[in-house]
Amino acid sequence: MPSPVDTSTLVLTVNVRLARWLTLQHNCNQSASQKVWDTPSIIPFDAWLKETWIASWPRQHVLSSLQSKKLWERIIQDDVQSERLDIMHLQGAAQDAAKAYELTQQYEVADKPDLFNLSEEATAYYRWQTQYRERLRRWDALDAAELLPAVQKSMQAGTIPVPVAITFAGFDEITPQLNRFILYLKTRNVKISWYPAEPATSEKVLPEKKDQWKGEFRRYPDPQTEVIECARWIRSVMQPGKTIGIVVTEMDGYRAMLVRELKAELAPESVYCWQGKEAPFNISLGTSLAQERMVDLALELLACSNHVFSTLIVSQILRSPYFADWAKEESARLKWDLILRLHHPVRVTLNQLLKLKNLQENPGFSSFLYKWKNWLDSKGARRPSDWGKAIARLLHEMNWPRGGRGLSSREFQIHDAWNECLDELATLDGVLGKIDRTTAMNTLTHIVREKIFQPKTREEPIQVVGLLESAGMQFDHVWILGCHADALPPHNDPNPYIPFTLQRQHNLPHCTPNRTLQFYETILLRLLKSSTDVQISFPALIEDRENLPSPLLSPWNEWDPPSNEFTSYRLIDQFQEHSILEEMADRSWIRVNPEELENLRGGHAVLKHQAECPFRAFALHRLKIRDIQPKEVDMDALARGNLVHAILERFWREVKTKQALDRLADDGILPEVIQTQVDVVLSANQNLFSGQDEFKKLERQRLVNLVKEWLALEQAREDFEVLSTETPVEFSLDKLHLRLKIDRVDRIGKHLALIDYKTGKEFPVTGWYNERIREPQLPLYCLAHPADATLFARVSKGKCGFKGMGIDTPDIPGIKNKSPGKGGFEDWDQSKAFWKTRLQAAAAQFLEGATGIDPLDKPSVCDHCELPTLCRKAELLHSTGGEESDEAEE
């Protein structure tokens, strides 16, 4: 391994990742020939500046990044109020302002007001930064971006010693501020060196021909294939003592895929999670601490502002092992959760929770609820450090995060990271003063979201890093992923608070697209030189978007490698390759026995689900599996549809005929009648709107308009009479007993039409002449009730209409009989006979106990099915090569 390290030289790296990597390389090199060796001085540049400064016992202290951001926020917030500025996102504005301050320091932009009066944003920024400086002066503090000149001054004054030799590692660019420092060091005879090369002197032109570097430029159909092939390639080149770098242009999009595929290929046994085997790679840029369930739930719980909670949160707390005495009270808590879900409330009050059955027999959870209540009742303002202590004490009393169990190593680390966030909150006393509970929780949530959590693992020879993070790293093999035109270079994003002319004048990062292009060209060139074997790839399609290769790679031709270029070491592939498997058909039908048949109840949904997928019907109607997700909103599509059904049912029960409808319209009282019916139904469903008067008004208006639109369509029909609404019908097919409810039966002349309301945007996919009748509801009504036509009535804003079938006579817009040539039948009786045969066959199949996984496609039933984890369709398709049922639809 190449290494810049000689223990007499101070190595200052551009980032933490490189410091760790160089230390690992040094230790590996030393261990080959020695038993003990000196620890090298390899340290990130920023950390060195801070350490050196603190060691000199300075008068001024350095603001942390959080203190600085909060100070910017406070200054901007005060200014926005006094100047009536239009700032959409305070935290974003503060972040940009802090970055602008850092850039102006690093690039030594003159602090003159006339340079900043070119735009409203820049003028505002200048006001903010004047106040920021004033606060720093009053507090005797320094911004981190001012530390370098301060250290230089202290060296000049002799209060900070000057090092003998420094190696700067991994710097792609030198800012004017750093350049001034280096010039100063040179005047003090400090030996300066660069690793791997001095930025200003490095060649900046990419090789024109691909054969000037060893590797391939590969195009893959999508990121998934790209990552799989990359993981297999690593397995093929991996050897003891060799280092491998995976450099990713857009880490967010690739991270989860990389972790999964690298584990599957490089450590197949890691699927046996109980073995605790560590994966042999490090992936940088962890995820936000707020994404850890243990922390996220604690934040949600603490941030509640009153005694009413969403059922979703309460359900998560009940099932969370991190609170109260989970180890002893798990079973009672799961039972409460089940009861809650089955009752379908959207919100739960603390009083309801305190009345849970058998709560007193579960002292852990009972005590947890009272502690929570005390927290929610707490009032007044405190300093952030006092809030931090109160939060730590409360969570400790709630037994978080242990819940009476032992913690895993990862959970320990998450807990440590959480405590660091509380410590950070405590540093804001001076910036924020006394704050209320809501502000304290908002600030803590902000800190936790910004905190990157990366579980500590030992350094590995395989490193997954972002483009910028890869600075200074040298490898034996490198693969650069995701090199498409949108990612390399990324979009230009200049700072909004520094005037563009000033940015161009000082050549600030991202000041022009050309500047960004050149910067990434430098990075790409550095990566091409970082190894003797560099592979480059890009996905041709991301989701549905086509990608071109990066313009930086345009001199080289990409190629499509074969799909199985490298051998797979995934466990599943190993099994399939080396096992001689015996094939057998699954004939496990589970017949409905007479006792079960007695108790079997259902409507048209049994046959609908049987047609959609036999396993779905088996699971829903025989195993009685139910989706018991807590409801997130009162007014979901089902509740809205029920209101429309109820209003139309009441209306036609009273009005009964088309003539009566016309009379109401002629007398000008139809709008009033509609409003009355809507009001009656809304009062009967008051529970859906508790405390939401404005929303109720909007919903009332929506319903009135929708019913008006619908009745206008009914007025355009020939005369009809509504004979009945919500008619219950009992019907048996084979031995399957079904209970149906017909929304409406109309008499049109001497014909009867059966109508079912639908409130969705589309008519259901019918497939009435298919072998498997996907929407058997209306055919079933025709068999169970005398009918000359059957129709869906779509009651939906802007899309009202009928669709159905019948004998030719009834004059209803929307009846369209399929001609015999297109798979229809000569007459209505033939249609009914066909439906009877098909629906009888489906009923017989259900009773025989078919459990096959055979979903209808186009559109796929599976897209909206709640059972994929139970039926394991994904695994089944994977093992059979991905063929899905492809029944032709209407």
**CA 456, 462, 463, 464 torsion: positive or negative?**
negative
Closest CA to 729 of 719, 721, 737: 737
By CB under 6 A, tell whether 871 contacts ligand SF4: yes
Which of residues 361 and 875 has its CB atom nearest to ligand SF4 in the complex? 875
CB of 865 to ligand SF4, least distance (A): 3
Segment near ligand SF4 (CB under 6 A); pick from 143-151, 192-200, 406-414, 863-871: 863-871
Q: Cα dihedral sign for 142, 144, 146, 152? A: positive
For ligand SF4, which is the closer residue by CB, 740 or 853?
853
Among residues 207, 455, 551, 868, the one that binds ligand SF4 under rule CB under 6 A: 868
> Positive or negative, the Cα torsion across 862, 866, 870, 875?
positive
| Shortest separation between residue 617's beta carbon and ligand SF4, angstroms | 9
Measured from the CB atom, the residue of 11 and 867 that comes closer to ligand SF4 is 867
The answer to the question of residue 865 lying near ligand SF4 (CB under 6 A) is yes
Closer by beta carbon to ligand SF4, 98 or else 856: 856
Q: Is 853 in the site for ligand SF4 (CB under 6 A)?
A: yes
Instruction: Tell me if the bond preceding 859 is cis, omega within 30° of 0.
Output: yes
Please state the closest distance from residue 469 (CB atom) to ligand SF4, in A: 40
Min dist CB 576 to ligand SF4, Å, is 22
Residue 867 binds ligand SF4 (CB under 6 A): yes
C-beta of 402 vs 774, nearer to ligand SF4: 774
Does 772 sit near ligand SF4 (CB under 6 A)?
Answer: no
Distances (CA, A) of 807 to 379, 751, 790: 72, 9, 10
Name the residue among 247, 265, 204, 259 with its Cα closest to residue 531: 247
Nearest to residue 174, comparing CAs of 140, 144, 198? 198
C-alpha dist (Å) from residue 382 to 385, 428, 435, 438, 594: 8, 12, 5, 11, 69
Between 556 and 618, name the residue whose CB sits nearer to ligand SF4. 618
Q: Do strands 191-195 and 452-453 pair parallel, antiparallel, or not at all (unpaired)?
A: unpaired
Q: How far is the CB of 823 from ligand SF4 (least distance, A)?
A: 25
Q: Which of 97, 611, 711, 861 binds ligand SF4 (CB under 6 A)?
A: 861
Shortest reach from residue 521's CB to ligand SF4, in Å: 48
Q: Which residue's CB is nearer to ligand SF4, number 173 or number 854? A: 854
For residue 721, give the 3-state DSSP assignment.
strand
Using CB under 6 A as the binding rule, whether residue 850 contacts ligand SF4 is answered as no
| Residues present in the chain in total | 890
> Minimal distance in Å, beta carbon 803 to ligand SF4?
25
Residue 615 within binding range of ligand SF4, rule CB under 6 A:
yes
d(CA 97, CA 110): 16
Could you tell me the smallest distance in angstroms from the CB atom of residue 772 to ligand SF4?
12
For residue 394, what are its two tokens?
């409360």
Q: Please report, to the nearest 10 degrees, the dihedral formed by the alpha carbons of residues 296, 298, 302, 308 taken in order.
A: 80
The minimum distance between CB 764 and ligand SF4, in angstroms, equals 16
What are phi and psi for residue 523, nearest 5 degrees? -65, -45
Nearer to ligand SF4 among residue 504 and residue 626 (C-beta): 626
The answer to whether 862 contacts ligand SF4 (rule: CB under 6 A) is yes
The DSSP secondary-structure symbol of 486 reads T
855 near ligand SF4, rule: CB under 6 A: yes
Told to check if 527 binds ligand SF4 by CB under 6 A, we report no
Distance from C-alpha of 28 to C-alpha of 375, rounded to nearest angstrom: 52
Binding footprint of ligand SF4, residue count (CB under 6 A)? 12
- The nearest distance, CB 869 to ligand SF4, in angstroms, is 9
Sign (positive/negative) of CA torsion 807, 811, 812, 814? positive
* Residue 299 vs 867, nearer CB to ligand SF4: 867
Q: In this chain, which stretch among 112-120, 141-149, 654-662, 861-869 interacts with ligand SF4, using CB under 6 A?
A: 861-869
What are residue 247's phi and psi, to 5 degrees? -110, 130
- The region of 20-28, 228-236, 774-782, 857-865 touching ligand SF4 under the rule CB under 6 A is 857-865
Nearer to ligand SF4, 215 or 855 (CB): 855
Listed ranges 336-344, 365-373, 434-442, 613-621: which one lies at the site for ligand SF4 (CB under 6 A): 613-621
**CA dihedral over 690, 695, 701, 706, signed as positive or negative:** negative
Q: Work out whether 42 is an interface residue with ligand SF4 (CB under 6 A).
A: no
| Residue 831 in tokens | 């249609």
Nearer to ligand SF4, 5 or 862 (CB): 862
Distances (CA, A) of 428 to 47, 129, 388, 841: 21, 19, 10, 72
Q: How far is the CB of 575 from ligand SF4 (least distance, A)?
A: 23
- Nearest distance in Å: CB 601, ligand SF4: 21
Q: Which two tokens stand for residue 67?
A: 């203190």
Strand 165-169 vs strand 191-195: parallel, antiparallel, or unpaired? parallel
Q: Least CB distance from residue 71 to ligand SF4, whole Å?
A: 53
Of the candidate spans 2-10, 219-227, 547-555, 610-618, the one that interacts with ligand SF4 by CB under 6 A turns out to be 610-618
* Cα distance between residue 610 and residue 627, in whole Å: 18
Among 809, 873, 880, 889, the residue binding ligand SF4 under the rule CB under 6 A is 873
12 burial type by CB count under 10 A (0-12 exposed, 13-18 middle, 19+ buried): buried
Which span (149-157, 445-453, 536-544, 854-862) binds ligand SF4, by CB under 6 A?
854-862
Q: 433 Cβ partners below 8 Å, 6+ apart?
A: 383
**Cα 813 off chain centre by:** 45
Q: Which stretch binds ligand SF4 (CB under 6 A): 15-23, 609-617, 630-638, 651-659?
A: 609-617
Asked if 838 contacts 771 with a C-beta cutoff of 8 angstroms, the reply is: yes
Q: Which of 74, 616, 758, 794 binds ligand SF4 (CB under 6 A)?
A: 616
Site for ligand SF4 contains 611 (CB under 6 A): no
Given the structure tokens 């990324």, which residue do they identify? 490
Nearest approach in angstroms of CB 856 to ligand SF4 is 8
* Minimum CB distance to ligand SF4 smaller for 98 or for 871: 871
Stretch that binds ligand SF4, among 147-155, 264-272, 820-828, 862-870 (CB under 6 A): 862-870
Q: What is the DSSP letter of 435?
A: B
Q: Which of 432, 613, 742, 793 binds ligand SF4 (CB under 6 A)?
A: 613
**Region from 587-595, 694-702, 760-768, 866-874 binding ligand SF4, contact rule CB under 6 A:** 866-874
Q: What is the dihedral of CA 844, 850, 854, 858, to 10 degrees?
A: 30
x-or-dash string of contact with ligand SF4, 798-837, rule CB under 6 A: ----------------------------------------
Residue 759's SS3 state is: coil
For the residues of 511-555, what is the DSSP string, one character each? SSHHHHHHHHHHHHHHHHTS-S-EEEEEESEETTEE-PBPGGGTT
Cα distance between the two ends of the chain: 65
**Of 482-490, 756-764, 807-815, 860-868, which part binds ligand SF4 (CB under 6 A)?**
860-868
Q: How far is the CB of 637 from ligand SF4 (least distance, A)?
A: 20
Q: Whole-number minimum distance, CB 855 to ligand SF4, in Å? A: 4
Q: Give min distance, CB of 858 to ligand SF4, in A.
A: 13
The string of DSSP letters for 845-867 reads HHHHT-------TTTTGGGG-S-
Question: Which residues here bind ligand SF4, judged by CB under 6 A?
Answer: 613, 615-616, 853, 855, 861-862, 865, 867-868, 871, 873
